[in-house]
Structure 1
Amino acid sequence: MTRRPATPLPAPKARRRLRETAALTQTQLATRLGVTPGTVRAWESGRTTPRGRKREAYAKLLKTLAEEETTRQAKQEREREGEREDKEKAAPEPAPEPGPEPRPEPVALTPAQAFDALYAFSAPALVRQTFLLTGRREQARESVERAFHTAWERWPEVARDRDPVGWVRATAYEYALSPWQRLRPRHRHPEPPPADPGDRTLLNTLLRLPPRHRRTLVLYDGVGLDLPETAAETEASTVAAANRLLHAREAVAGRLPALADPHVLHRRLAELASNERLRAAEPPTVRRGGERRARLRTRAAIAFTIALIGTTALTLRTAPTHYEPPVSPGQAVHGVPHRVAPGALSDEELELRQKLRDQLQDGPERLSPTLE
């Protein structure tokens, strides 16, 4: 049974433009589709893509908005043509008075300057937040740098995103919580715990939580996102995110009853992240590191392709073109008597041969009937 192809959707930038042209907010669009505003924000940023019935409903709604926009543009064009005709028929108006001087346009930043500004603004806080997820200072710093490396490689997409900090944060969290981190040799050597006993107990409690619950707790009570935004960033429904948050709070309150109040928990998470000496590299260093990693991957891909082509050519050059069965080596056979040439016949053998020749070849003689 063949699967029906998915309904095509416009690009994320076109989805946002159609919604804004129709004067709809993300909340209004989410209400019409039966989803959360955070889900619509994730669809318009390109971080997630709708599926199934939600995809069909979203595509149908965008198609309707596009048709309305086309109709509205045609109507506006007809109105402008009518206004031009009326002005041509009317008498010339006096020249307008000079208006105020236009304000100077802001200077546009280069991609490198914009990237450095984003990194300088968000990197220190992201390192502290990632430390709450991993409990490792070096892994938190490396996760944030890897996320910014990826952001620099895909900078046009990140620069157009409405929440570039959220884009980088989601990438850093995914890298920090990857199961492959456990296989690294550095993971086998524990780092020194926090000096304060309260911070040490809180960090151990966080690390005992499942990764999804820990991430939801850090986003909601640590970063301060609302529940729909937390659900969108963790790629879960609002109900699932709420359940994870409740279970995480219950687990923390079970070991630390003083943190049962969400406001106290938020303050303690901020203090735990601020008490650690977590440093982030300079923006140019991170940007050059990302470019160097991209060059190394490109060269490795080219080298692998060349090696594969060379191996294939060598195989075609040296491989046999037809099958030649192997010839088994000769072996001596024992126990078989040698063949002997026949000698002269004896008198008995000569007599027997003559007797056989004299007899009829077709068998014994038969009696034939005769007339009397």
Structure 2
Amino acid sequence: MTQRPATPLPPPEERRRLREAGSLTQAQIAVRLGVAGETVHAWETGRRTPHGREREAYAHLLARLSPAPRREPAAAPLAALTPAQAFDALYAFCAPALVRQAYLLTGRRELARESVERSFQLAWQRWPEVARDRDPAGWVRATTYEYALSPWHRFRPRHRQPEPPPADASARALLDALLTLPSPYRRTLVLYDGVGLDLPETAAETEASTPATANRLLHAREAIAARLPELADPEELHWRLAELASTERLRAASATTVRTGGERRARILTRAAIASTVALMGATALTLRTAPTHYEPPVAPGEAVRGVPPRVALGPLSEGELELRERLREATVSGPAKLTPVPR
């Protein structure tokens, strides 16, 4: 039995050009093909090649985006997604995996969900920027990781108490080993061995050089292997990470809930900013109203006057001195005459 030849595809650069010419994002292409947005990005960069039905569907879609020949009728244009539909599609493909990845980074289920929701709320606020980004899924993933690994969570009261560990003993051991790694090492390990990014992409997402990223990855693997020798093989470590993330039933909220929650949060923050501005303006107006209208110079301190002769007399007698003088006058004088007080 002969195999049917594979459907031809244009070069990777042409695939991206055709998508951009059709005013479509990678997330929109992923929705139509039923694949992840990262898969479309890998097809356009040439790192991966579609096969089977995915290849046929992708080739058919690119053919519809290609300019039609002059003698053939033009293909029907693809229906453009609204911003809300594109956001919901991106959330549906990325959120479930991101929640599991955030759990590997933090070991906390509630923080993992919160990190994904906050990152997508921020993405919805900046949707024109995110929609035009080369890799919207990478943008949201980087934002989720930054929020999940923020050191300020340790000061929150509900994060001071540990959460129940996984029920399986091997899963607990792997999670404990992950949480002992420094945050940059843990993030690098999850991106490379968990998500499956290559070294340059991992370095770009962690904002580090490629040699530094390679060193972090090697040290992280060595630390995991020192505690769990059976995970010295990177392939085995990859599957154990995937198993640990999948055993926990972590469900993200619906896209509509996240989107409306982000809008409500933005309205609250906007109203708070307006209220603070109005209060500041009122305080400024009150200060201007009650402030003095003219300048009153302070009273100068006393200074010594030169040229005045010094005081010679003793000044008026005190009450005690007057009493003593009266007693001396009334007392009987005895003794030499020179001691007798002479009245003036």
Q: TM-score range by the shorter chain?
A: 0.5 to 0.7
What is the deviation of 1:175? 0.5
Give the equivalent residue in structure 2 for 1:310: 282
What is the deviation of 1:323? 3.0
Find the residue that maps to 2:253 and give its secondary structure: coil
Give the total of aligned pairs.
Answer: 241
Give the equivalent residue in structure 2 for 1:278: 250
Supply the distance in 2 between the matched residues of 1:320 and 1:191 (Cα, whole angstroms): 60
Supply the distance in 1 between the matched residues of 2:117 and 2:109 (Cα, whole angstroms): 13
Q: Any unmatched runs of 5+ in structure 2? A: 1-15, 21-40, 42-68, 302-313, 319-344
Q: Which residue of 296, 299, 302 corresponds with 1:323?
A: 296
Taking only the aligned residue pairs, the percentage that are identical comes to 73
Supply the distance in 1 between the matched residues of 2:174 and 2:228 (Cα, whole angstroms): 8
Matching of residue 337 in structure 1 with residue 303 in structure 2: no
Supply the distance in 2 between the matched residues of 1:100 and 1:278 (Cα, whole angstroms): 50
Matching of residue 132 in structure 1 with residue 104 in structure 2: yes
Give the equivalent residue in structure 1 for 2:175: 203
Find the residue that maps to 2:197 and give its secondary structure: coil
Partner deviation per Cα, 1:89-131 (whole Å, 9 max, x = no partner):
xxxxxxxx98222211110000000000100111000000010
Q: Which residue of 82, 90, 93 corresponds with 1:110?
A: 82
Find the residue that maps to 2:188 and give its secondary structure: helix
Bigger Rg, which one? 1
Code of the aligned partner of 1:159: A
Q: Which residue of 248, 254, 257 corresponds with 2:226?
A: 254
Supply the distance in 2 between the matched residues of 1:123 and 1:266 (Cα, whole angstroms): 20
Find the residue that maps to 2:212 and give its secondary structure: helix
Give the equivalent residue in structure 2 for 1:170: 142
Supply the distance in 2 between the matched residues of 1:176 and 1:188 (Cα, whole angstroms): 15
Q: Which residue of 224, 237, 240 corresponds with 2:209?
A: 237
Supply the distance in 2 between the matched residues of 1:158 and 1:298 (Cα, whole angstroms): 21
CA change 1:305–1:266 in 2 (3 A) is: same
CA change 1:111–1:98 in 2 (3 A) is: closer
What is the deviation of 1:293? 1.1
The ranges of structure 1 where at least 4 consecutive aligned residues each deviate by more than 6 angstroms after the TM superposition are none
RMSD (Å) for aligned C-alpha atoms: 2.4
Find the residue that maps to 1:100 and give its secondary structure: coil
What is the deviation of 1:327? 12
Supply the distance in 2 between the matched residues of 1:184 and 1:234 (Cα, whole angstroms): 25
Find the residue that maps to 2:163 and give its secondary structure: coil
Matching of residue 301 in structure 1 with residue 266 in structure 2: no
Supply the distance in 2 between the matched residues of 1:336 and 1:175 (Cα, whole angstroms): 83
Structure 1, 184-193 or 220-229: larger mean CA deviation:
184-193
Find the residue that maps to 2:112 and give its secondary structure: helix
Give the equivalent residue in structure 2 for 1:159: 131
CA change 1:277–1:98 in 2 (3 A) is: closer
Code of the aligned partner of 1:237: S
Give the equivalent residue in structure 2 for 1:290: 262
CA change 1:122–1:337 in 2 (3 A) is: same
Find the residue that maps to 1:272 and give its secondary structure: helix
Partner deviation per Cα, 1:286-313 (whole Å, 9 max, x = no partner):
0001111111111111111111111111
What is the deviation of 1:324? 5.9
Code of the aligned partner of 1:277: R
Partner deviation per Cα, 1:18-65 (whole Å, 9 max, x = no partner):
xx9xxxxxxxxxxxxxxxxxxxx9xxxxxxxxxxxxxxxxxxxxxxxx
Partner deviation per Cα, 1:136-174 (whole Å, 9 max, x = no partner):
000000000000001001101111112111000000000
Supply the distance in 2 between the matched residues of 1:142 and 1:121 (Cα, whole angstroms): 17
Supply the distance in 1 between the matched residues of 2:137 and 2:315 (Cα, whole angstroms): 93
What is the deviation of 1:338? 7.7
What is the deviation of 1:320? 2.3
Find the residue that maps to 1:320 and give its secondary structure: coil
Code of the aligned partner of 1:185: P
Supply the distance in 1 between the matched residues of 2:217 and 2:115 (Cα, whole angstroms): 24
Q: Report the TM-score, using the length of structure 2 for normalisation.
A: 0.67
Q: Any unmatched runs of 5+ in structure 1? A: 1-15, 21-40, 42-96, 329-334, 340-372
What is the deviation of 1:337? 2.6
Find the residue that maps to 2:102 and give its secondary structure: helix
Find the residue that maps to 1:231 and give its secondary structure: helix
Code of the aligned partner of 2:234: P
Find the residue that maps to 1:312 and give its secondary structure: helix
Q: Which residue of 221, 230, 235 corresponds with 2:193?
A: 221
Q: Report the TM-score, using the length of structure 1 for normalisation.
A: 0.62
